Amino acid sequence: MNTNDDDQELLKRFVSEQDEMAFKLLVERYQQPLYQFIWRHVGNQDDALDLSQKVFLQVFSKAEQFRSESKFKTWLYQIAINLCKNHFRGKDRQRIADVELEELELESEQSTMNEVEKIQEQTHLFNAVKSLPDKQRTTLELRLYQEYTFAEIAEIMNCPVGTAKANYHHAIKSLKNTLRDQDYE
């Protein structure tokens, strides 16, 4: 039995038999990758944790509405994408990730400088990804960080496979241009 069939069976057991252990297994399976996906989307650990919990609360409360035509993880990520979009409504979409310098371990001046440089590089990359249009950013994150195929991405984003590939191509091209331009400044 593959993971997709197993996911469907676990959700079915949860709905029909109120088997909470089945739901717990789904949460354990997807909690970390879903959190990482959402964190990359919103750029804040606390918000990502809250949104991850909201995704699973929606799955819990709407499990009987799941249509078996799609994969469970497709449905899960569609919920996550919608919650991330709702999260940004009315907020500044270009906000920079909060980096607490107090959290750095101050072992020596050199290691501190290396950490600061690493954080700056990560912040530049994070901001470059955040500046991408929503569909390109989501496609890039699903492909690179979650390692989904273009067919799976197309299903999650409810678009043709060719569109998913085009979004990914444009995202990579935009990132290269943005990061190249930053190097010259």
Please report the pLDDT score of residue 122 as a whole number. Answer: 65
Please report the pLDDT score of residue 184 as a whole number. Answer: 43
Percentage of residues in the chain having pLDDT higher than 70 = 76
Mean pLDDT, residues 47-52:
89
Q: What is the dihedral of CA 146, 162, 85, 77, to 10 degrees?
A: -40
Which amino acid would we find at residue 39?
W
Say whether pLDDT at 153 is over 80: yes
Please report the pLDDT score of residue 111 as a whole number. Answer: 53
Q: Where are the domains of the chain?
A: 1-95, 109-185
Tokens describing residue 36: 């990482």
Same fold? 1-95, 109-185: no
Q: Which CATH architecture has domain 109-185?
A: Orthogonal Bundle (1.10)
Give one word for 98, left, alpha or beta, with left for phi > 0 and alpha for psi -120 to 50: beta
Max Cα-Cα span within the chain: 61
Question: Which residues have CB under 8 Å from 79's CB, separation 6+?
Answer: 55, 58, 59
Say whether pLDDT at 135 is over 80: yes
Q: If one looks up domain 1-95 in CATH, what number appears?
A: 1.10.1740.10
Say whether pLDDT at 169 is over 50: yes
Say whether pLDDT at 151 is over 70: yes
Tokens describing residue 8: 């469907």
* CA–CA gap between residue 184 and residue 162 (Å, rounded): 33
Say whether pLDDT at 150 is over 90: yes
